[in-house]
Amino acid sequence: MKNCLVTGGAGFIGSNLSERLLFRGCNVRILVNLSTGNKRNLEHLADRIDLMLGDLRNINDVDNALKGMDSVFHLGAIPSVSRSINNTEDTMSANVMGTTILLDSAVNNNVKRVVFASPSSVYGDTPSLPKVETMAPRPRSPYALSKLTGEMLCENFSRLKGLETIALRFFNVFGVHQDPESEYAAVIPKFVTALLKRERERPTVFGDGLQSRDFTPVENVVDALIKAMETPDGAAGTVFNVGCGRSFSLISVLEMLGEILQIEPNPVFLASRPGDVKHSLADINAAKERLGYNPHLHFKEGLEKTVAWFQGEINVPL
């Protein structure tokens, strides 16, 4: 995978992946429209990457980005559950039509493999835990539906057009470069920044705080992405869970953050949000066995690393 395209490479996961690919000696091209990503995430890589501004829904932009590429990490998307409820058309257009155009262009440009980023929310509210890839999906939001459709498109392109694709379902990723200011930001960066601001802001919990997630440090996700790209032939058209295989409630996360920062969390509780799933836990046996994935960074270590990074960003001493 010498020549790699990363769609959405200015985003949280994409920028972490791009940095790791460069470290491994890859030539990295990034296609972004900056609707959700941030060029600041790439400032330290600016002289080493080929940054292209364009939209996944524009065939010419995608074709130009794919010329000469061996492999594609498709992370570009409109990524929010609540945003997809408020603006369904935009989410479906970017995530479904954008993926269709990218896969079609990948075939035309003789790309060897596409690794597609998908969320654990495609499982929906099925009560069985842990979530296993063989379960029937039950997406509860347009965002989850759009990503499930992307998975199915990948499987179709593998089966019908010979394009090697692998889809990875990420479970609640967190870590450096995650944006806490976005209206649609994930819970851990929101918790961390609220606690770092101490008296000026209190962390907000939607629901009773007992909902649980398989929180996954971004370093583990980057490992999984690279292993999915490098695994020998035979996994094409397949979906794999990527998590840590252990879940924590929001209340317990706040307690751990309080211990790290040595402050009392004192959260504000609000009503549950529509589309949110109560519990989530990944079965990662398939990824371990077939991709060689192993989550080397545990949750508490990832949390400490994340706190340290946000502490530097916000410039509040521990």
Contact between residue 307 and residue 300 where contact means Cβ atoms under 8 Å apart: no
| Ramachandran angles phi, psi of 33, nearest 5° | -115, 0
* Residue ranges for the chain with pLDDT beneath 70: 1, 182-185, 199, 275, 315-318
Distance CA 28, CA 34 (A): 17
151-208 residue pLDDT tens: 999 999 999 999 999 999 999 999 999 988 765 568 999 999 999 987 578 999 999 9
Is the torsion defined by CA of 233, 136, 221, 5 positive or negative? Answer: positive
Q: Residue 47 falls within a domain, yes or no?
A: yes
Q: Are residues 94 and 77 in the same domain?
A: yes
Query: Structural domain of residue 261, as residue ranges?
Result: 176-214+247-278+297-314
CATH number at residue 271: 3.90.25.10
CA distances from 252 to 45, 46, 210, 246, 258 (A): 36, 38, 8, 13, 10
Q: Are residues 24 and 119 in the same domain?
A: yes
Q: Residue 291 falls within a domain, yes or no?
A: no
Q: Are residues 222 and 310 in the same domain?
A: no
Q: Are residues 181 and 254 in the same domain?
A: yes
Q: Are strands 268-270 and 204-206 parallel, antiparallel or unpaired?
A: parallel
Q: Identify the pLDDT of residue 35.
A: 78
303, with CB counted inside 10 A (0-12, 13-18, 19+), is buried
Distance CA 28, CA 19 (A): 9
Q: Catalytic one among 123, 143, 184, 293?
A: 143
Q: Are residues 49 and 139 in the same domain?
A: yes
Q: How many domains does the chain have?
A: 2
3-state secondary structure of 90: helix
Q: Identify the pLDDT of residue 146.
A: 97
Distance CA 122, CA 140 (A): 8
Q: How many CB atoms lie within 10 A of CB 278?
A: 12
Q: Are residues 255 and 154 in the same domain?
A: no
Q: Are residues 58 and 196 in the same domain?
A: no
Q: Identify the pLDDT of residue 175.
A: 96
CATH number at residue 136: 3.40.50.720
Q: Are residues 235 and 251 in the same domain?
A: no
Q: Are residues 167 and 257 in the same domain?
A: no
Asked about 143 being catalytic, the answer comes back as yes
Q: How many helices (H) and strands (E) does the chain have?
A: 11, 13
Q: Are residues 165 and 263 in the same domain?
A: no
Q: Residue 292 falls within a domain, yes or no?
A: no
Q: Are residues 135 and 266 in the same domain?
A: no
Q: Residue 302 falls within a domain, yes or no?
A: yes
Q: Are residues 189 and 105 in the same domain?
A: no
